[in-house]
Structure 1
Amino acid sequence: MLSSHDLNLMTSYLKSKGYTKEQIASMNDKQILRDYEEKTKEFLYQAKKQIDIIPQTPKEVQRKDLQHLQIPLELAQIIEQDNVKIYEMLDEYIENYSVREVAEVIFMKTKHTKIAKLEKMMRIKRSQLQELWLEALERNLSTLPAEEAQTLLKFYYDKKDNLIELKDIYTRSNDKKYLSQIYEIACMKLHIVRDYMPKELEETYRVYYDNSQEKIELIKQILNISNGFEKGYLLGLSMHDLGELLIQIQEELQKKKKEEEEVKMYFDEFKDALHSTKEEMFLEVCIDAASALSRERFQELCANLAKKFKTFRHRFTDIARHHKEISNLQIVF
């Protein structure tokens, strides 16, 4: 069943998408939820498609055919005379072919170059291009909301080994008009998710929230009060789950603290009763403690008292025998 808060969010969003008051009034909660989910999924899909700066060229033409790899003999000879020229003259080839493919063509056209050295130098050049374009992307996307910028950068870092796509993304990000369009869509997407889809916020921007100070602080709080979890496990949880876990641990600690205080209180009361001549005082403490404490805590208390006071076991056993209706009193030492 939808809460009134969730229902208000959903109906407000549907109104923003053109639904009239009459349409919404004629719908039951199940229909509102169905339409809301359809509209939000469609919005997120379209927004993501527009924001992800990915080339639309078909896969078969994204990478040049190996048979077209023609490196002029003069260029190969220049590189043979001065290998450092690789860093200046082979950008086009490195972008479109693998390191191994280009190195083999140069190797076949020269006499004294070593293919292992060529490959090593070309990998360095490839890394330089990746770093250059990714740094530029980070600068160009810095105007976007942090949630969107970090999500996009993670997406592009995952694609860095495809230099054709990476260069295309980098080139597009230098277009101020295009970036302005992306900015508008990103802001609208964040606004919609934050205001109308709060439960989807963290999942939509998981990269951002996984590295947020808020999440780091939650994990720190949990690790400070419990050694039952590995940090790696906690990093994999959502902030919602971390928050619930923290509350659960805090409640358990509070319960444990309260039980320990009660155990200490009853220990002192038993101590006084054992030194008293009034038998009813000992009986009263036995019944109160057995009723208030968990069976495990009560057994621990009785075992400790039996070790500390020689008369405890006999007096306690006698009372337990006369009050079999109280299950916590039925203890085997």
Structure 2
Amino acid sequence: MALSRDRMIEFLKRHDYDPNTLQSMETKEIQEAYQEVTKKLLGSYFHLTNDNKSIKTNSILLDMGELTEFKQKLKDCANDVITLIECLQEGYMKFDYSEVNDLLAIALKDMPMHKMQKISHIAYRSFQEILLSQIATALKGLPKEEFKVLEEFYEKRRNDTQFLHQTIDKLKDPATRQQILTMARVKLMVVKDFMPSNLYDVYRDYYNNVPQKLELVAKVRALTGLYSKEYLKEMPFEELETLYQDILKHNEQEEQDRKMFLKYSQAIQESVDNNDDEGFNEICYKAVTHLTQKQLSMLVEYMNGQNPFFLSKFESVVHEYKKKLHIKR
């Protein structure tokens, strides 16, 4: 639904437009001005949030005293894994990833390599989580749609810890953080009001992870293993609902086919075992009249495999059945 003239005027007033000038403008002119302002805001927003050019730090000579102190700290933590992980987290915060691991290898040279690698992996992973958590905390005021999009964006950059550090520093500035929050709200409003058909594509990460969709994905996967979780999450909600209903119907039909197959195959087998030709003919008549083509084909194929004389007897019964139908007509 498009914004009203009054709402656009109020918006433009907050962006230094003269109220009297706005009142004298045609609605089309106001719409053009509104779109121009929002484009500028969104351009700045994407620059602030999606700038993927990581700034390289200048090569510097690290203080040898700091390195020596850190190496000794690693040695002191050698027998306490939890403390060692915390120590490594502090190191990753201050030094380069490879430098920390080099110092770890030197300080704990007697530790088995596989154990050292595992501890390092856990420490670095938890260090990344700390950085991502700090970013998430700074962005808590975002609309939920925007928050999820940015959360996924930074998650994909988790290995670029320098970029995450720079983002945290940027968000520490109240003015920058407020600018991002404001422009995120504007972006959401513009998409909802002017591009509602693009809402899912723009906020795919959000809509793919809402509880209702995740619950439906779980239901589909409980019924069939044909689809991966990610494939189902990417499917539009309406299509996913249709798929779920189709699978339910298919499974219900499969269960019905199974029950009918068991019922008639057991009855036919009993009539054969008891040499009950009359019972055999009766159950075959019922099978022909009550079973679907698929169910009947399954039954005939199975019984023919069980008894080499079944097919000829069955065809004879069917022939007699067709003759009776012809006579009735």
TM-score, scaled to structure 2:
0.55
Structure 2 segments unaligned to the other structure (5+ residues)? 10-25, 29-34, 75-86, 110-115, 269-276
**2:65 matches 1:63:** no
CA distance in 2, matches of 1:262, 1:84: 76
Who is 1:315 aligned against? 317
Q: Report if the CA contact (8 A) 1:283-1:319 is conserved.
A: no
Counterpart secondary structure, 2:191: helix
- Cα distance change, pair 195–320 in 1 and its aligned pair in 2 (3 A): farther
Which residue matches 1:201?
Answer: 199
Q: Deviations over 1:134-184 (max 9, x none)?
A: 222111111112221122122123324434432221122223333333223
Q: CA deviation at 1:50?
A: 0.5
CA distance in 2, matches of 1:127, 1:255: 48
- SS of structure 1 residue aligned to 2:48: coil
Question: Do residues 83 (structure 1) and 71 (structure 2) align?
Answer: yes
Cα distance in 2 for partners of 1:151, 1:56 equals: 14
**Contact persistence 1:99–1:122 (CA under 8 A):** no
1:152 has 2:147 as partner: no
CA contact (8 A) 1:219 1:234 kept: yes
Deviations 1:37-58 (A, max 9, x none): xx9xxx7997376056359697
CA distance in 2, matches of 1:160, 1:223: 29
Counterpart Cα distance in 1 of 2:248 and 2:90:
63
- Report if the CA contact (8 A) 1:54-1:165 is conserved: no
Deviation at 1:122, TM superposition (A): 10
Kept after mapping to 1: 8 A contact 2:288/2:296: no
> What is the CA-CA distance between 1:318 and the residue it aligns to?
3.5
CA-to-aligned-CA distance 1:5-44 (integer Å, 9 cap, x gap): xxxx6xx4899999x999xxxxxxxxxxxxxxxx9xxx79
> What is the CA–CA distance in structure 2 between the aligned matches of 1:182 and 1:242, rounded to whole Å?
34
Residue in 1 aligned with 2:211?
213
Offset from partner CA, 1:54-97 (integer Å, 9 cap, x none): 596976xx21343xx223xxx41464366357979988973xxx
Kindly indicate whether the alpha-carbon contact (under 8 Å) linking 1:55 and 1:168 is maintained by their aligned counterparts in 2: no
Letter aligned with residue 173 of structure 1: L
| 8 Å CA contact retained: 1:55, 1:169 | no
Cα pair distance change 1:251/1:217, threshold 3 Å: same
2:183 to 162, 180, 185: 185
* Separation of aligned partners in 2, 1:286 and 1:55: 66
Cα gap change, 1:53 to 1:169, in 2 (>3 Å): farther
Q: Is the 8 A contact 2:170 2:176 kept in 1?
A: yes
SS across alignment from 1:179: helix
Matches within 5 A, 1:53-132: 53-54=48-49, 62-66=55-59, 69-71=60-62, 75-77=63-65, 79-80=67-68, 83=71, 94=95, 98-100=96-98, 116-117=106-107, 130-132=128-130
Judging changes above 3 Å, is the alpha-carbon distance between structure 1 residues 243 and 81 closer, same or farther for their aligned structure 2 residues?
A: closer
Read off the aligned partner of 1:80 and give its amino acid letter. T
For residues 203-227 of structure 1, what are the alpha-carbon distances to aligned partners after superposition, in whole Å with 9 as ceiling and x for unaligned? 3223323332112211222233335
Q: Find the aligned partners of 2:90 and 2:302 in 1 and give their Cα distance.
A: 83
The one-letter code matched in structure 1 to 2:132 is L
Alignment match of 1:50 (pick from 42, 45, 52): 45
8 Å Cα contact 1:150-1:208 kept in structure 2: yes
Give 3-state SS (helix, strand or coil) of 1:211's partner.
coil
Q: How many residues align?
A: 267
Q: Matched residues in 2 for 1:47 and 1:124: separation?
A: 38
Asked whether the 8 Å contact 2:128–2:158 carries over to 1, the reply is: yes
What is the CA–CA distance in structure 1 between the aligned matches of 2:100 and 2:61, rounded to whole Å?
Answer: 9
Q: How far has the Cα of 1:117 moved from its partner?
A: 3.7
Where in structure 1 are there 5+ consecutive unaligned residues? 1-8, 23-38, 105-112, 325-333
Between the aligned residues of both structures, percent identity stands at 17
Checking the alignment, whether the CA contact within 8 Å between 2:142 and 2:181 is kept in structure 1 is yes
Which residue of structure 1 lines up, in the alignment, with residue 20 of structure 2?
none
Distance 1:89 1:283 in 2: 79
Give the SS at the match of 2:180. helix
- How far apart in 2 are the matches of 1:154 and 1:193? 19
C-alpha contact (below 8 Å) 2:72/2:107 kept by paired residues: no
Q: 1:211, 1:235 → 2: CA distance?
A: 7
Q: For the aligned residues, what is the CA RMSD?
A: 5.7
- Asked if the contact 2:45/2:180 (under 8 Å) is kept, the reply is yes
Residue matched to 2:222? 224
